Amino acid sequence: MREFLPKTENEAAAIIRDHAARGAALAVVGGNTRAGFGNAVAAEAALCSRELTGIVAYNPGEMVMSARAGTPVADIEAALVQSGQMMAFEPMDHRPLMDTGGEPTIGGVFAANVSGSRRFVSGAARDSLLGVRFVNGKGEIVKAGGRVMKNVTGLDLVKLMAGSHGTLGFLTEVTFRVPPRPKTEETIIVSGLNDAEAANAMAAVMALPLDVSGAAHLPLTVAWTFLDGKLPQGEATVLRIEGLAGSVSVRAEKLASAMRRLGPVTRLAEAESHRLWREIRDVKPYADGTMRPVWRVSVAPSLGHQLVAALRLEAGVDAYYDWQGGLVWMRMEAEPEGDLVRRFIHAPGGGHATLLRATPAARGSTPSFQPQPEAISLLSARVKEKFDPARIFNPGKMG
């Protein structure tokens, strides 16, 4: 496949106009770290943002950064660490799970709305996005939003672009919030709870005035894979506290005291805590070098363990839980079982499932994205028609 690497918006616009005139499909990519995701449709060429790099504007006092879409996430994080700031949504790195190379880009993060373990308290990537520049399917350069939230078009184009997976436009620049980084963190581990007990414990914790910023449950089948097997033996329900050192110490002790009635409690200091949550975020248990199907399932926190229990009666399933139980990472033993997974999600109260990893053959028969209700599907089609009338952008990633 031919690869286009424009160095400017105008170059990208010219490439897009040419392909639109010929009705030739373009695969829109950043660092290509999620290669294979979606339901593949042949494209003539790939339009890559990797040459559109650099931080355009950053004043730490404003807590806002603007960067070109192809800027490596590593460069963004390095600049933020120096200023004591962060991306609150802590985007995951898909490379271990997807077994891909390349460098994650900041445009790719927002195009896929990539959000990690702090998502359930700090919002998704799209909630931090303030402005975008992009080239639409007609080859027109569009600017939306800015360094403050603003809507001047009747459509919130900023939110539309976040999570659109390159189906609406080619991102060239993003502007986003960068709040202060916590000074330290600590993780409380409660051992021995089953999935249902852990769901109840996490719900109880979130009702306490302790500002927990991470809540996950790691069943026995996966707990041993974290921190090189150094977690306490058995199931692990893990709870993160962040902030100023004195506050973290006091809140962590209160949390540990409250949890001791449920099971043995262990505490992880900053370095190990940070590593654990990075491994949870990046789905370390299933970054196993195989192509066994992996689902990312979002449901109500109280229903995640019920979904997994029901599926286990019908198929080979392994799973663990983030976002207080609302995000379920599931690995299937053989086939994706897409119809089964989505039928069981619908039964207890709804949600959505995204097939992140599978063999090419399995992708050919299983929609990667949750099928949309008819009304939303019609609206999505109308939006697509406005942004990309020739339908040349990422035809295999239309949700």
Place of tokens 């400017």: 8
Digit-coded pLDDT (tens) for 221-231: 999 999 999 99
pLDDT given for residue 141 in this prediction: 95
Digit-coded pLDDT (tens) for 356-392: 999 988 988 898 988 888 888 898 899 999 999 999 9
2-180+390-397 and 284-365: same fold? no
Buried b / exposed e along 316-332 (16+ C-beta atoms within 10 A): ebbbbbbbbbbbbbbbb
Q: What percent of the chain has pLDDT over 70?
A: 95
Fold type of domain 184-281: Alpha-Beta Plaits (3.30.70)
Instruction: Judge whether residue 168 has pLDDT over 50.
Output: yes
Q: Which three-class secondary structure state does DSSP give residue 366?
A: coil
Give the separation between CA 338 and CA 358, rounded to whole angstroms.
11
CB 242 within 8 A of CB 213: yes
Q: Which three-class secondary structure state does DSSP give residue 238?
A: strand
CB 258 within 8 A of CB 208: yes
Which secondary-structure segment (H or E) carries 159?
helix 157-161
- Ramachandran category for residue 64: left, alpha or beta (phi over 0 → left; psi -120 to 50 → alpha): beta
Domain spanning 284-365, CATH class: alpha beta
Give the separation between CA 359 and CA 354, rounded to whole angstroms.
15
Give the separation between CA 291 and CA 14, rounded to whole angstroms.
38
Instruction: Judge whether residue 42 has pLDDT over 80.
Output: no
CATH 3.30.465.10 fits 2-180+390-397, yes or no: yes
Q: Domain extents for the chain?
A: 2-180+390-397, 184-281, 284-365
Which secondary-structure segment (H or E) carries 96?
helix 95-98
Give the separation between CA 113 and CA 12, rounded to whole angstroms.
22
pLDDT given for residue 151 in this prediction: 41
CB 384 within 8 A of CB 169: no
What is the DSSP code (8-state) at residue 323? G
pTM as predicted:
0.93
Tokens of 235: 């199931």
Digit-coded pLDDT (tens) for 239-259: 999 999 999 999 999 999 999
Give the separation between CA 52 and CA 66, rounded to whole angstroms.
13
If you average pLDDT over every residue of the chain, what do you get?
A: 93
Digit-coded pLDDT (tens) for 281-326: 999 999 999 999 999 999 999 999 999 999 999 999 999 999 999 9
Place of tokens 């089948």: 221
